[in-house]
Structure 1
């Protein structure tokens, strides 16, 4: 062990000389078996900015408003309030582990570390694939929504007399994906500053929305809805019972507050990761809880009292109708234009974070073409360029669902939610069951409340996973109204497990050490395997 600690110190010193990281961060990463390969350049605020930018509260609320509108204003407001608090417990549980063990592949790494010996490999493999596919689904859904937002502006400009064909939507989607890829590769040097800029943009659009909507509504001769109507009026535009329709409004925050794990994937580029990553997680999820409630309340106060008119808008986006009703055509176009810029930044940040998960999983040899995808380009500021390119190729293929219909395209949303909920819940559950003696707190720790919070978080994730599989319109959906979450995600999970038991179990050993093998993701030496067992089984 003394030899290993000595080697760790040497690795840290050499990496520090190369300008990649501070020795302290490198030593903590080395204890988990990895050498420093990416450049650490993100401050605590910028790590928070990654998650806060990806959530993009106003944009996310605009994208998911259709899921909470059927329950009326009370369902929108209190559905957000209730679900966001429960989601915050997930963030707290994740922050505990992220502070103790900050690595880009955190979710599957923690699963392997905490799980019982019989289940380590298979569960970490499932979590890694589920998390990767969830992030891919997130990229697809974000850029699909961005394409719809851009095209809805054309529809508003033409007074609703034009609507985009599926081919036009797919063309816009592909173009946006490619632009994001080019920007993420060549803007790597300024990406931390872009995250800071995104924070200010998101705050600006929130302030503008909560001020301009009510002022515009009153100025244009309208009146605000009463507080009683906003906070107590329940409707039911579905064929579900009213109580369950209210619960289904939880889907809006479930889909909106969903990317605080991006902080984890940026761990190996964070300065003082043991502090920056957990703070980024809890700040972003906490802000979503409080600020989201405020934004939803304002929207409910200015929206058309005829909820169905907003839900069935001709513009294709209920939020576009809210802006149109309160601010008129020019005001709606102005706000939608700003939302488009922010949505673009959201997609850019998510692609960067997702590429780090793909890179980390490839570093451990789990993905097809791992030896290709795990390459880090030293010419482009130590970035996993090939992982970015691979992600873009997969997203373009998945985006072909846009050519079928909107129902098929919405399956991209379900891929993101269900896959990520499995990826988030599994390591937390493994820690509850097996991690009593294995967990050693980092700089951030919720103390005596850590275990109760983890139990609440897992319970919520199981409930949210089941909820995401319900058809939103009613118990007897048509083919167009059916929720295909179980089909899409079931295929992903079964395919991952089939791949594991048929092939990967023969060579996948879990996280691999790169301290002793700087340029290889293949087999680890016997000495390295023993060290890996020690690292993943006893030492954090």
Structure 2
């Protein structure tokens, strides 16, 4: 493993922590937000320490894992995998999750080397070519910000559907929610997340452990209750059905129906970049970020595979009846068939509670990305969103509520039709895939000579091939997310409007850049008093200091080459 290191004072002594606080923080010297190594590494990336580092390595993993909300996410996306039959459910999950793990490895390399809250667009600018870096960085920042807000929308919309399905079950199917009622539940959920994300900041890291435990309790309850509910072996499907039975309830070819089943894991395991956005709130960030990414993906890969096997074992072989359940959710029907009305009410209630916690975690992650992007002056009203609230625990309070209100507006799609609402799911997929893939592509095409590994590194032999595989899979995921899931001749009700929404996002961001932002957006800005010389030379944040033009990019020295010789253990 290569190490990321930190400058040591010329006199050989330890840096005084109070001096560190005054140099790299906006708080008084006596109130430290970070340890020496973390603050120094962040300063080398061009930023002061402004957020308090409340998150340990386990808690960084926890926020990603809780946003993924494994079982609630599977429940929300079963409609993508069931049409391909048990093979789509089980093997579609396993294969796609393995590919996502490779994406995580490529991102972990970058997250360990350069841990900053705006990592994705920061890396894009740092590694991009001189001619494209500003435009690509601008695109990635907007795609990632709106992708995270889209994730908040889709999670809370899923919560609203689950909440309403519990009422439907309790009333024995004699009630159906209107679009307006679903939206009302959605808005109430989003507003609650805003309140909690604002007031629980000091214990948000600790809460992630609670959220992880609740996720694991729900998973354990499901994988025990379903087989027990199907007490007789004749009531459960055999191994041949689970692992080899293919179906196709679409008008696509069977092979493509199987590929569309990838959308379930792609959407579910789609929050690992939240570890990057917490870089400036994580202690020992150069290790916490990559391990948070990989542990969250890996745990969802294995546990999700087990869950899918259990579901395929206990599902009604009449899959069309499950997809068309009167309860509005295939998962609700699977529960009902196995454990009856009361058991279903209990499990679905726990399910939507965990879904609610997912929304709270992604509200935190989305607000940190929004804050980082406003810190670099790229968002409209950046000056308004930029300040940190000391009263509420050194958090970007205005960004929290900006994300909440934007989510409430995007959620108005719920009022149009289910097809429009489902585009919220794909907005999170396609938008984030662009944001994840672009910096990885920039690194291997233009910036490999500037890349200096951090404490986590996949090695010279594997790092570049893994990065290329990640880029190809992410491009495939974008294409997949834009296909109508039912077949090649969709009606207005079954059309996939992802292409419309994402083209509006990407086209709007690039249009905004070339019409106006290119005149003033020069990439990430530095907030430290003195610009690190290597940043200026290599086109990093220092190139965006007011009155200083960006470097040519010809200097191939990276961040780590300027960061001194302190050992890996210091990070």
Asked if these proteins are the same fold (TM beyond 0.5), I'd say: yes
Q: Secondary structure at the match of 1:437?
A: helix
CA distance in structure 1 between the aligned counterparts of 2:126 and 2:556, rounded to whole angstroms: 5
**Number of residues paired by the alignment?**
535
Residues 487-531 of structure 1 show CA distances to partners (whole Å, capped at 9, x for unaligned) of 11001000000100111000001010001299xx998344x6679
Q: Where do residues 438-517 of structure 1 align in structure 2 (5 Å cutoff)?
A: 438-447=450-459, 448-516=461-529
8 Å contact from structure 2 (residues 130, 553) kept in 1: no
Structure-to-structure mapping, 1:125-144, within 5 angstroms: 125-144=138-157
Shift of 1:246: 1.1
Is 2:201–2:392's contact at 8 Å kept on the other side of the alignment? yes
Equivalent pair of 2:135/2:513 in contact (CA under 8 Å): yes
Provide the residue aligned with 1:201 in structure 2: 214
Query: Is residue 20 of structure 2 the alignment partner of residue 12 of structure 1?
Result: yes
| Residue 79 (structure 1) aligned to one of 92, 96, 107 | 92
Pair 1:88 & 2:96 matched: no
SS at match of 1:39: coil
- 8 Å CA contact 2:449–2:556 kept in 1: the answer is no
3-state SS in 1 of match to 2:34: coil
Separation (CA, whole Å) in 1 of partners of 2:555 and 2:199: 36
Structure 1 residue runs without a partner (length 5+):
none
In the alignment, which of 131, 153, 176 is matched to residue 189 of structure 2? 176
Which of 252, 268, 275 is equivalent to 1:263?
275
Match status 1:188 vs 2:201: yes
Shift of 1:13: 3.9
Who is 2:564 aligned against?
Answer: none
State the match for 1:524 in structure 2. Answer: 545
Shift in Å, 1:12: 2.8
Shift of residue 257 of structure 1?
0.8
CA distance in 2, matches of 1:115, 1:8: 36
The answer for the alignment partner of 2:406 in structure 1 is 394
C-alpha distance in structure 2 between counterparts of 1:261 and 1:94, whole Å = 8
Partners in 1 of 2:544 and 2:262 — Cα distance? 45
* Residues 1:433 and 2:445 aligned together: yes
Q: Tell me which of 345, 361, 370 is aligned to 1:349.
A: 361
Structure 2 vs 1, CA of residues 102 and 154 (structure 1 numbering), >3 Å: closer, same or farther? same
C-alpha distance in 2 between matches for 1:280 and 1:106: 15
Render the CA deviation track for 1:400-422: whole Å, top value 9, x for unaligned. Answer: 11111111111111111100000
Asked if the contact 1:112–1:536 (Cα under 8 Å) also holds between the matched residues in 2, the reply is no
**Cα RMSD after superposing both structures:** 2.4
TM-score normalized by the length of structure 2: 0.90
Distance 1:104 1:366, change over 3 A: same
Corresponding residue number in structure 1 for 2:565: none
Tell me the distance in 2 between the aligned counterparts of 1:201 and 1:467.
32
For residues 148 and 404 of structure 2, the distance between their equivalents in structure 1, rounded to whole angstroms, comes to 12
1:32 equivalent to 2:45? Answer yes
Cα distance in 2 for residues equivalent to 1:351 and 1:387 = 10
Tell me, yes or no, if the aligned pair for 1:31 and 1:535 is still in contact at 8 Å. no
Shift of 1:8: 12
Correspondence for 2:67: 54
Q: Deviations over 1:327-372 (max 9, x none)?
A: 1000001001111111111000000011000000000000000011
Alpha-carbon distance in 2 for matches of 1:185, 1:192: 13
- Counterparts in 2 of 1:235 and 1:330: CA distance versus 1, 3 Å: same
| Residues 114 and 537 of structure 1: CA distance in aligned 2, closer, same or farther (over 3 Å) | farther
- Please identify which structure carries the higher helix content: 1
How much has 1:538 moved relative to structure 2?
3.8
> Given the alignment, which residue of 301, 313, 329 partners 1:289?
301
State the alpha-carbon separation in 1 of the partners of residues 556 and 216 from structure 2: 41
SS of the residue 2:462 aligns to: helix
C-alpha change, 1:24 and 1:318, in structure 2 (3 Å) is: same
Distance of aligned partners of 1:322 and 1:536 in 2 relative to their CA distance in 1, 3 Å threshold? farther
TM-superposition CA deviations, 1:149-182 (whole Å, max 9, x none): 0000000001111110111111111111000000
User: Structure 1 residues 78, 489: CA separation in 2 closer, same or farther (over 3 Å shift)?
Assistant: same
Give yes or no for the alignment of 1:329 onto 2:341: yes
Whether 1:539 aligns to 2:559 is: yes
1:385 paired residue among 388, 391, 397: 397
Query: Contact 2:130 / 2:552 at 8 angstroms: preserved in 1?
Result: no
Q: Distance in 1 between matches of 2:514 and 2:207?
A: 42
Q: Are 2:82 and 1:69 equivalent residues in the alignment?
A: yes
The unaligned stretches of length 5 or more in structure 2 are: 1-5, 532-541, 561-571
8 Å contact from structure 1 (residues 365, 522) kept in 2: no
The yes-or-no answer on 1:154 pairing with 2:167 is yes
Q: Identify if the C-alpha distance between structure 1 residues 535 and 60 changes in structure 2 by more than 3 Å, giving closer, same or farther.
A: farther
8 Å contact from structure 1 (residues 8, 27) kept in 2: no
Q: Which stretch shows the higher mean deviation, 391-400 or 4-13?
A: 4-13
Taking the aligned partners of 1:335 and 1:98, their CA distance within structure 2 comes to 37
Please give the per-residue CA displacement for 1:97-140, whole angstroms capped at 9, x wherever unaligned: 00000000000000001111111100000000000110011000
Further displaced range: 201-210 or 419-428: 201-210
Partner Cα separation in structure 1 for residue 514 and residue 424 of structure 2: 26
Distance, in Å, in 2 between the alignment partners of 1:194 and 1:535 is 44
Cα shift at 1:263: 0.4
